[in-house]
Amino acid sequence: MTGQIVVCYGTPDDPAAFDEHYRNIHVPLAGRIPRLSGFTWGKCSSLDGTAPVFYAVAYLRFDTEPDMQAALASAEMKAASRDVADFATGGVRMYIQHIESPDR
């Protein structure tokens, strides 16, 4: 089963500083996580024009559950996790998502 870690960032105190740090420091750290098969992130906007619940959301994808568990235990994941405190001033929520897709 494919799984992913979903990281939801609240609105930071300084969005420009968040963006700068995220792109130039955090993305390279996340890219070193072993067994990572995909990594995407983006800023959020709501469909109805209200303020979105999250400023940005990142998806770290893994091909198998054992790959994801190995990544979670890695030194590289620990380094990326420690870095979050340096830029996520709006708070962060993290989830594991087990991906299911309908057959079409």
The answer as to whether 55 is a domain residue is yes
61 within a domain of the structure (yes/no):
yes
Tens digit of each residue's pLDDT (9 = 90 or more) over 44-94: 999 999 999 999 999 999 999 999 999 999 999 999 999 999 999 999 999
CATH number, domain with residue 46: 3.30.70.100
> 80 is in which domain, residue-wise?
3-98
Asked if the structure places residue 42 within a domain, the reply is: yes
| Number of folded domains that form the chain | 1
Nearest to 74 by CA among 28, 37, 36: 36
What does the alpha-carbon distance between residue 47 and residue 87 come to, in Å, rounded to a whole number?
26
pLDDT digits (tens, 9 = 90+) for 4-44: 999 999 999 999 999 999 999 999 999 999 999 999 999 99
Residue 104's alpha-carbon distances to 63, 98, 101, in angstroms, are 20, 19, 9
Q: Is residue 103 part of a domain?
A: no
Is residue 104 included in any domain, yes or no? no
- Domain membership of residue 49 (yes or no) is yes
pTM: 0.92
Written as one string, the DSSP assignment of 33-53 is -TTEEEEEEEE---TTSSPPS
Q: Please identify which residue in the block is written with the tokens 């420690």.
A: 82
Specify if 36 maps to a domain. yes
